[in-house]
Structure 1
Amino acid sequence: MAIETNHPLIEEILSDWKTRIGEEYTGYRGHVYRMFNFCLALRQCSEEEKTKLAIAACFHDIGLWSDQTVDYIPPSIVQAKRYLTETGQDAWSEEIGLMIEWHHKIRRHRDDRFPLVEVFRKGDLVDFSLGLFKCGLPKSFVDEVKARIPNAGFHRFLMKGAKEWFGKHPLSPPPFMKW
């Protein structure tokens, strides 16, 4: 499978956020592309599904910067839905909203109406875990994606946020974790 490293829609969406994301931009962009590639490898997608995955990938963690909060899933959904409204794609709001809402769910997400929700959850898990969880993807593919699309400090940025959260809330899971 070809590895996507420059998708026009992803570039267009993320370019609007480059200044707000700041020094973490390269790392976040890499995360978006790695998980997008993992999603595409997990399911043979139609062009419409690829577009939905690209949009969800761009917005799934954007609340970290739009609202500067560890409880970033709700504002990420707001930003995605705003984009969908502005681009005349309101019909996708529920599905993309669910993809973002459940992307850190620990257990499998079961919803026959929207199979991309589970694909998206798995794609993010592969990257978030640095490939420890492969969700059925070949190790060689995961390694190739990681080599072609550098981490650029993204996981270091996440660990900094986790350290701050657990320093203040040592017995509570972060609000973005879903069971």
Structure 2
Amino acid sequence: MSDIEIKLVRSRVEEILARYKHLIDKDFPGYRNHVYRAITYAMHFLDNEPEYEALIETIFAYHDIGLWTDHKLAYLEPSEAVALADNEKYDWGFDPQLLRNAIHWHHKITPYSGKNEAVIEACRKADWVDISKGHIRKGMSKAVIKKVEAAFPNLGFQSTLLRLTKDYEGSTLVGSIKVTRGIMKW
């Protein structure tokens, strides 16, 4: 695996997220940095192969967007729908099934196997590394994770998720149960 490559600005990500910034509102800086960290990890798992970059950037820009577009804790399908609609609207030409599956399976607990396994697994592992703040490392060193987190500080992203569970469901407990049932996959 090559050394971690950190890109501080990704024009595709900035363009996509700009369309939704008003919806994400105060949560924007934390979500943006989560997206950048996840892209960095996923690209690392894919040996920084340029052929995957635009796809990975797109997947992660949209992967949690349903939290804000649809105000739902079961946000995978809403996130998929927004990504697929924009893929068609802007004629990006990404394989719709790959885009959908990468978003749909990014919280899968066990390894993904099947069509487009390399991309979907890279996305799944990258999100687990980031959402766990590096406690789940998927083969990444602590030093690499620290380097990525220094470039893109957390800015309370996990706290945002906890707040949204309470805001959307009236209770962190009820919200956490709905999140677990709605987005965790085996």
Q: For this structure pair, what is the TM-score category when the shorter chain's length is used for normalisation?
A: over 0.9
Name structure 2 gaps, 5 residues minimum.
none
Long gaps (5+) in structure 1? none
Q: Sequence identity of aligned pairs in percent?
A: 30
Residues 62 and 80 in structure 2, CA contact (< 8 A), matched pair in contact too: yes
The root-mean-square deviation of aligned C-alpha atoms, in Å, is 1.8
Q: Does 1:156 align with 2:159?
A: yes
Answer whether contact 1:95 1:114 (CA < 8 A) is retained: no
Alignment check: 8 A CA contact 2:107 2:183 kept:
yes
CA offsets 1:141-170 (integer angstroms, 9 cap, x no match)? 101111110111211111223455653367
Once residues 175 and 129 of structure 2 are traced to their aligned partners in structure 1, the CA distance between those partners, rounded to angstroms, is 26
Say yes or no: does 1:5 pair with 2:8: yes
What count of residue pairs does the alignment treat as equivalent? 179
Task: Note closer, same or farther for the CA distance 1:112–1:158 as it changes in structure 2 (3 Å cut).
Answer: same
1:115/1:62 CA distance change after superposition, 3 Å: same
Give secondary structure in 1 for the equivalent of 2:135: coil
Shift of 1:90: 4.0
Question: Does 2:45 match 1:39?
Answer: no
Deviations 1:77-101 (A, max 9, x none): 0000011101223442110110000
For the pair 1:175 / 2:178, whether they are aligned, the reply is no
Closer, same or farther in 2 for the Cα pair 1:45/1:2, shift >3 Å?
A: closer
> Contact 1:3–1:37 (CA<8 Å) still a contact in 2?
yes
Residue equivalent to 1:113: 116
Instruction: Return the alpha-carbon distance in structure 2 between the equivalents of residues 171 and 109 of structure 1.
Output: 23
1:30 Cα deviation from its structure 2 partner:
0.4
